[in-house]
Amino acid sequence: MTAEPVGARSRTGYDAETLAALTADAEQITARYPDPRSGLLPMLHLVQSVDGYVSRDGILFCAERLEMTAAEVSAVATFYTQYKRHPNGTYTVGVCTNTLCAVMGGDTIFDRLSEHLDVGHDETTPDGSITLERVECNAACDYAPVMMVNWEFFDNQTPQSATEIADRLRAGEEVVPTRGASSVCSFKQTSRILAGFPDGRADEGTGAGGPTLEGLRIARERGWTAPEPDGADAAGEPATEVPPETGTAQSSAERKPTTAQDEKPGMPDASEPGKRTEGSDD
């Protein structure tokens, strides 16, 4: 059975039309990469765009396309929080409750929404409209407290604004993000974009919100600019290759040297003749 060519007969439960469309999309995805396996993450977004979550069929589909086992695909799918293991609501409403947003009001917003919608973290309202989530830092701290709806920014929220947005989503009304497209699309549409199939809405919305422009606004006001290339005062000597003070977030630069090449990058490593090495993370 497994020896049959992929596509000749699929173990997924998709009807022929769905399967054909998925297969065509999957081919476009794998064509973006030197190794088709790199297409797995976008392909998982793709199956979410059809099923609204990473379904059993979706896992089988990815496995068949990439000649992996279903267990291997599941191992990847369960690692990432954006892949849902149960049917997701039409809208994922995510409240940032990482420290800064939580302190600024995110905790209150989450609690109020949870009470208002009568669902907890990673639960979906009975009408299938909203899946409520606590989310981690979404890189919009200067707009705290932040809420994401289908991964569009809703900045500077209050309990009132958040519950109002949730009510409008449940009523099927159009909801406009603070910085994003001119309306929020559905979870399935969002997933399709994340699979790398744009919806032509990149030009909608703003380029920058107020806080993004705060420093620039002050610089304009006071006439501050970066130096001109010619008029730059010559104080800046070209940097020498001083050993940097490395070792911080997401770096392993502070590890102790274990081989000669750790201390003298570029020197031949006794254990790996002819190999060169480098120093650190970015």
Partner 1 sequence: MTDVLTPVLSDTWDAERSWTLETYLAHGGYEGLRAALAQDPADLVQAVKDSGLRGRGGAGFPTGMKWGFLPAPDGGPRYLVVNADESEPGTCKDIPLMLASPQHLIEGVAITSYAIGCHHAFIYVRGEVLHVYRRLLAAVQEAYDAGYLGTDVQGSGFDLEVTVHAGAGAYICGEETALLDSLEGKRGQPRLKPPFPAVAGLYARPTVVNNVESIASVPGIVAKGAEWFASMGTEKSQGHGLFSLSGHVTRPGQYEAPLGITLRELLDLAGGVREGHELKFWTPGGSSTPLFTAEHLDVPLDYESVGAAGSMLGTRALQIFDETTCVVRAVSRWTDFYAHESCGKCTPCREGTYWLKQVLHRIEAGEGTAPDIDLLLDLCDNILGRAFCALGDGATSPITSSIQYFRDEFEAHLDGRGCPFDPARSTLFDDTPQAPPALAGAGGHR
Rule CB under 8 A: which of 263-282 touch partner 1? 265-266, 269, 272, 275-282
Distance CA 156, CA 177 (A): 11
What φ, ψ does residue 124 adopt, rounded to 5°?
Answer: -115, 140
Residue 260 found at the interface with partner 1 (CB under 8 A):
no
The interface with partner 1 within residues 107-136 (CB under 8 A) comprises 107-108, 111-112, 121, 134-136
Distance CA 86, CA 35 (A): 29
100 token code pair: 């800064």
**Stretch touching partner 1 by CB under 8 A, among 2-10, 12-20, 146-154, 163-171:** 146-154
Residue 165 found at the interface with partner 1 (CB under 8 A):
no
Question: Given CA atoms 38, 42, 44, 46 in this order, what sign does their dihedral have?
Answer: negative
Minimum CB separation of residue 14 from partner 1 in Å reads: 21
The interface with partner 1 within residues 6-35 (CB under 8 A) comprises 32-35
Q: Are strands 152-154 and 91-96 parallel, antiparallel or unpaired?
A: unpaired
Residue in 150, 182, 148 with CA at minimum distance from that of residue 162: 148
- Residue closer to partner 1 (CB basis): 15 or 256: 256
- Residue closer to partner 1 (CB basis): 22 or 29: 29
Give the position of tokens 């929020």. Answer: 184
E strand intervals along 60-187: 91-96, 123-124, 130-135, 147-149, 152-154
- Residue closer to partner 1 (CB basis): 2 or 225: 225
- Residue closer to partner 1 (CB basis): 126 or 229: 229
Q: What is the largest CA-CA distance in the chain?
A: 74
Give the per-residue contact string, 62-101, with partner 1 (x = CB under 8 A; - = no): ----x--------xx--xxxxx----------x--xxxx-
Residues ≥6 apart with Cβ < 8 Å to 238: none
Minimum CB separation of residue 229 from partner 1 in Å reads: 4
Give the per-residue contact string, 182-201, with partner 1 (x = CB under 8 A; - = no): --------x--xxxx-xx-x
Choosing from 1, 249, 263, 273, the residue that interacts with partner 1 (CB under 8 A) is 249
**Are 114 and 134 in contact, with CB atoms under 8 Å apart?**
no
**Stretch touching partner 1 by CB under 8 A, among 9-17, 122-130, 168-176, 211-219:** 211-219
Residue in 125, 202, 122, 137 with CA at minimum distance from that of residue 169: 125
- One-letter amino acid identity for 134? R
Minimum CB separation of residue 181 from partner 1 in Å reads: 6
| Number of residues counted as binding partner 1 (CB under 8 A) | 127
